[in-house]
Amino acid sequence: MCGIAGRIAGPDGQVGADLVELMQAQRHRGSDSTGFGIYGPPRQRGYVVRMVGGDRSVVESSVERFAVASRAGGADLIEDPTWDDLNQPHVSVRAVVDDPARPFADWLSAVDHLPGLEIQSVGRSLEIIKDLGNAYSVAEAHGVRELAGTHGLANARMATESLVSPTASHPFWARPFPDVAIVHNGQLTNYYLLKERLIRAGYDFKTENDSELIAVWVADQMAQGMTLEGALELSKSALDGVFTYILATADQLVFAKDRWAIKPLAVVEESDGGLALATEEQALRRLFVDEVEVLNYDGPRQSRLWPVAGVAVPA
Amino acid sequence: MSDRFEIEAADRPLRQVNSDIRAAVADGHKVVVRRPLSRHNLGVGLPAGADVVFDGSVGYYCGGLNDGATIGITRNAGWGIGEAMATGHITVDGYCGMSLGASMRGGLVHVRGDSGPRCGVAMKGGDIVVEGTVGYLTGFMSHAGRIVSLGGADDACGDSLWGGEVWVAGPIASLGVDAEVVEPRQDEVTGITELLARVGVDGSFDWKKIVSAQRLWHFESRDATAWLMI
């Protein structure tokens, strides 16, 4: 049991603050860790890189090693990296790199295997922030409420399949596809088979978490020419187990659900283009305290795609 | 509802809200709960004679363990409404989520809108009336009682029924494992007509009565494919 949420912001752009409320209302579904994937205003140039370092005492040398590796991969840092000053052994690092002069995959392989530093997300707009604790404590620690943007997704995790750690929690970035991320409520039973195939095809996985597979699997289907709608449809039969997952790209928010209809999803569509999704309706009512039309996607094999209006995605 | 004793739910502690409802009922009041905000576990375990209306949408398990109360919900309800109720009468004016009436033993749940999947899952008695459609796997593993749908049924209707009945007026997307449609007797139809009259529904319907084909009552491993229709 986990709780998930998604948000397309209205004109106020309060993605972070709204997702924090949606997740705190679902903390009873699992608060060993909470994570947020926020899509800020898309950059025309360069990528935001979010990382977690395992050992705070060596963070400066880790970040320096990242900068050297990034330059070797063809991309200079265009902002000074920053990191949190929390009192815990691990450390969350944010860097912004230029468009790599070499192919993106080459740059990524140059920076993606550094000791002591694990990349959580890369995107023109996507930033994944995840840590141990409930929504309010993660929001307090990492300033999530202040993050504005166009859309986002979030997860409150009750670990069933792998380690409790910031890196094994959700959202998962669809490595190596910039700006693609998922959150998942459920358990997959055939993930290791599909993961094995994707590893043989050259993909890289960082955790033993079943949910990481969904992100890469969907993005791989699209890389092979399938539409996002087609990949969602195929996922309902290709992925085995119980699941409701929400996936976001730079300009779309989607969900898909298994054939067993076990994991709930409730949705409010606002008249100004805003959208809110959550596992439980009572979480949505944190944002909509007056009576509101709520769509309950309770049936099997359901999916939906919502475009995020007004996002100009750079090539 | 102006003559009712008003209790606000909103963001107050749930235990306090339910205690207030019980205290008001014990004082002989009819109760209306304002701003339920889709919260879970409202009005669980209410006693006989209680009359409580939730003015809005409720979350999971509202009216669970009902011991004879009359409960109204003026909008939608979440999962497991009336779970394990012994007796009483629950009315949902809007949509009712998954597993309504799960394991109920008696009483009546009446839904004016549609219902989600697994309506009446594992029920042991009592009646469910859904004026709209019933969802996927309606009646799953139900042992006794009647589930009545006026608007049709989604896939796998009556899946793994044990001894209960599902009555459907309207289209059935597909039958579940070991479910079969049988011709109802006239006295059974009269019983359904009387049940509908209790919730203010009249008219004549073209019923399909679904019961267990009883092949799974005596399961043998060589019949495993009968289970594997999923």
Which pLDDT score is estimated for B229? 56
What is the percent of chain B with per-residue pLDDT over 70, rounded to a whole number? 97
CATH architecture for the domain at A3-41+131-307 = 4-Layer Sandwich (3.60)
Whether the per-residue pLDDT at B230 is higher than 60: the answer is: no
A240 touches chain B (CB under 8 A): no
pLDDT tens digits for range B3-57 = 999 999 999 999 999 999 999 999 999 999 999 999 999 999 999 999 999 999 9
Shared-domain flag, residues B185 and B79? no
Q: How many CB atoms lie within 10 A of CB B202?
A: 7
Which pLDDT score is estimated for A313? 61
Q: Name the residue in chain B with its Cα closest to that of A294.
A: B76
Which pLDDT score is estimated for B228? 65
Q: Can you give chain A as a three-state secondary structure string?
A: CCEEEEEECCCCCCHHHHHHHHHHCCHHHCCCEEEEEEECCCCCCCEEEEEEECCHHHHHHHHHHHHHHHHHCCCCEEEEEEECCCCCCCEEEEEEECCCCCCHHHHHHHHCCCCCEEEEEEECCEEEEEEECCHHHHHHHHCHHHCCCCEEEEEEECCCCCCCCCCCCCCEECCCCCCCEEEEEEEECCHHHHHHHHHHCCCCCCCCCHHHHHHHHHHHHHHCCCCHHHHHHHHHHHCCEEEEEEEECCCEEEEEECCCCCCCCEEEECCCCCEEEECCHHHHHHHCCCCCCCEECCCCCCEEEEECCCCCCCC
Shared-domain flag, residues B68 and B12? yes
Range of the domain at B104: 1-113
The pLDDT of A308-312, averaged and rounded, is 79
Shared-domain flag, residues B11 and B36? yes
Global pTM value: 0.95
| Burial status of residue A231 (CB atoms within 10 A of its CB: 0-12, 13-18, 19 or more) | buried
Shortest CA gap A154–chain B (Å): 21
Q: Name the residue in chain B with its Cα closest to that of A25.
A: B39
Shared-domain flag, residues B124 and B204? yes
Shared-domain flag, residues B93 and B33? yes
Whether the per-residue pLDDT at B105 is higher than 80: the answer is: yes
Which pLDDT score is estimated for B226? 66
pLDDT band at B220 (very low <50, low <70, confident <90, very high): confident
CB contacts of A282 in chain B (<8 Å) are 37-40, 59, 78
Shared-domain flag, residues B122 and B95? no
The pLDDT of B103-120, averaged and rounded, is 98
Verify cis geometry, omega within 30 degrees of 0, for the bond prior to A176.
yes
The pLDDT of A116-137, averaged and rounded, is 96
Shared-domain flag, residues B85 and B119? no
Whether the per-residue pLDDT at B165 is higher than 80: the answer is: yes
Whether the per-residue pLDDT at A115 is higher than 70: the answer is: yes
CB contact under 8 A, A264 and B76: no
Which pLDDT score is estimated for A163? 80
Shared-domain flag, residues B124 and B78? no
Whether the per-residue pLDDT at A160 is higher than 80: the answer is: no
Which pLDDT score is estimated for B1? 59
The pLDDT of B160-187, averaged and rounded, is 96
Chain B residues interacting with chain A (CB cutoff of 8 angstroms): 10, 35, 37-40, 56-57, 59-60, 75-76, 78-79, 95, 97-98, 116-118, 135-137, 154-155, 230
How much is the mean pLDDT over chain B? Answer: 95
Tell me the C-alpha distance between A258 and A233, whole Å: 10
CB contact under 8 A, B38 and A264: no
Tokens of A293: 């039309």
Tokens of A253: 């928010």
Shortest CA gap A56–chain B (Å): 39
Tell me the C-alpha distance between B104 and B85, whole Å: 5
How much is the mean pLDDT over chain A? Answer: 94
Whether the per-residue pLDDT at A314 is higher than 60: the answer is: no
Tell me the C-alpha distance between A64 and A97, whole Å: 13
Whether the per-residue pLDDT at A162 is higher than 90: the answer is: no
Query: Residue A72 is which amino acid?
Result: A
Number of domains making up chain B: 2
CB contact under 8 A, A285 and B135: no
CB contact under 8 A, B56 and A289: no
- Find where tokens 């052994």 sit: A89
pLDDT tens digits for range A197-229 = 999 999 999 988 899 999 999 999 999 999 999
CB contact under 8 A, A281 and B38: yes
CB contact under 8 A, B35 and A289: yes
pLDDT band at B101 (very low <50, low <70, confident <90, very high): very high
pLDDT tens digits for range B123-138 = 999 999 999 999 999 9
A298 touches chain B (CB under 8 A): yes
Q: How many CB atoms lie within 10 A of CB A299?
A: 15
A291 touches chain B (CB under 8 A): yes
pLDDT tens digits for range A67-97 = 999 999 999 999 999 999 999 999 999 999 9
pLDDT band at B2 (very low <50, low <70, confident <90, very high): low
Tell me if residue B1 falls in helix, strand or coil.
coil
- Does the domain at A43-123 match CATH 3.30.70.600? Answer given as yes
- The dihedral region occupied by A90, where left means phi > 0, alpha psi between -120 and 50, and beta the remainder, is beta
Which pLDDT score is estimated for A68? 98
Tell me, what's the ipTM?
A: 0.92
Shared-domain flag, residues B25 and B35? yes
Shared-domain flag, residues B31 and B96? yes
Which pLDDT score is estimated for A31? 82
Tell me the C-alpha distance between A152 and A4, whole Å: 11
Which pLDDT score is estimated for A312? 66
Q: Where are the domains of chain A?
A: 3-41+131-307, 43-123
